[in-house]
Structure 1
Amino acid sequence: MNPLDEELDRRRSATGEHRLPPTVAVVVAAATYALLPSSLQLGPRLIVPIVELALLLALIATNPRRMTRETKWSRIVSVVQAAIVIVTNLVALGLLITTLMDPAAEGGSLLLAALQIWSTNVIGFGLLYWELDRGGPVARRKLRRDAMPPADWRFSQDENDDAVREVAVGASKSSGWVPTFVDYLYLSLTNSSAFSPTDTMPLTSRAKMLMGLQASAALLTSLLVIARAVGSLGGG
């Protein structure tokens, strides 16, 4: 059998990726947005969370437990859902900046809101990275390597095939490993914390632009928190 077919059989035998982790992430993002101060939200408090959860229910109906099926519309809905999380969160960040420029603004709730925005930033970009890379979660399980779209990110497992045995056993080429949502969430978390790539490198222009946007938003949020905290200490 062709080595590519053998490797594909290993990926398919692992069944589809579990639906639970991204589902929990979307629910957390929706709840976090709903708990933001009303001055940082677009429209009525529950509009955005309801839209996000409605899209989530449509996706769950397509793949209730495992990511095994995909249609053109389900893929569009998945990307739109991640985009809504990101865009509404960036708008909230912009409104937070405007609010913090007012010296009379209440500091405690705004600092908590900054943490909520930072956390949602991690979730939103993690979802988008997960949907975009190599054609998405279903394609990563179902397609041969030579049929996948070009990778947007290079994980350490993608280059460990010639390492020592206990490391190489988990390499992409030899084991059929493909990244799951947790891997992209970790990528998003480290990018928001370090403001740059760590162990996973962006390969395409869109990956670099998205990571740059995410890192900039995370850095700005962190600077706002620091500036507000220093200002509060000085005022005290």
Structure 2
Amino acid sequence: MTAIPEGASGEHRWPAVAALLVALALYLALPSTFLPVLRYAVVGIGLLLLIPLLVVNPVRMHRQTAWTRGISVAQALLLAAANQVMLVELIVSLVEPATGSGTRLLLSAAQVWLTNVIAFALVMWELDRGGPVVRRALDRAALPPADIRFAQDEDHDAIEEVAAASSRVAGWRPRFGDYLYSSLSNSMAFSASDSIPLSGRAKALMGLQAFSGFVLLALVIARAVSLVSAS
């Protein structure tokens, strides 16, 4: 078991929990034609997996065991994988105008896009440098290799007021909000911005996210133009 040292403060769990609940709600709110059995199963499994994680770390991330690590990673990967299935279903609906209301399809596209942002943020939050508990429990020299390089990781040689918040000077370590911002910027710019993928798995995940976001945006724009032209 890995645990935060006595007197140290672990990362707060609830920002990630709130994001997960929003993603599951968006997933559940998709049109009934979008594979209802899969959607209900993913939401149910996601909520069930959350219960033991909250029992072990109800407020802050203080402890991690092999089984809690497996559950938390599986939960994030399940949401990301299921949303890719919904993305394919949405693409089919977008290229077949007769399948439903254009306005409802555009709203569904926004739901899938936002869920994608949250899902990939959760995955990287769980994977990078051993996860949220390990990132704070171990000395920096003992951390697993980083999957993502943030701006704070290389700001130690900048001007004083910038260097003061860097990893080397202030001991800064990424929190869920940093991964959420990275995921959001990658989904909007289709490339890394302030954070750079280092490992093969990080590049694969961020590449998949950027590609799916680009395809979704292109089809949504095309669908919107067709709706305007038809009005």
Per the TM superposition, whether the score is higher than 0.5 is: yes
Give the Cα–Cα distance (whole angstroms) in 2 for the partners of residues 147 and 189 of structure 1: 29
Give the Cα–Cα distance (whole angstroms) in 1 for the partners of residues 74 and 222 of structure 2: 34
**What aligned pairs does 1:1-236 form with structure 2 within 5 A after superposition?**
14-43=8-37, 45-105=39-99, 106-236=101-231
Give the aligned length: 227
TM-score using structure 1 length: 0.92
Q: Secondary structure at the match of 2:18?
A: helix
1:13 Cα deviation after fit = 5.4
Structure 1: gaps spanning 5 or more residues: 1-8
Structure 2: gaps spanning 5 or more residues: none
Determine if contact 1:159/1:171 at 8 Å carries over to the other structure. Answer: yes
Give the Cα–Cα distance (whole angstroms) in 2 for the partners of residues 174 and 13 of structure 1: 21
1:46 Cα deviation after fit = 2.7
Question: 1:166-223: CA deviations, max 9, x gaps?
Answer: 1111110111110000000000000000000001111111111100000011111111
Give the Cα–Cα distance (whole angstroms) in 1 for the partners of residues 202 and 18 of structure 2: 24
Q: Secondary structure at the match of 1:36?
A: coil
1:12 Cα deviation after fit = 7.5
Q: CA RMSD in A?
A: 1.6
- Taking a change above 3 Å as real, the CA distance of residues 226 and 144 of structure 1, as seen in their structure-2 partners, is same
Q: Aligned residues: percent identity?
A: 51
Give the Cα–Cα distance (whole angstroms) in 2 for the partners of residues 14 and 36 of structure 1: 41
Give the Cα–Cα distance (whole angstroms) in 2 for the partners of residues 100 and 61 of structure 1: 42
Structure 1 counterpart of 2:196, one-letter code: M
Structure 2 counterpart of 1:164, one-letter code: I
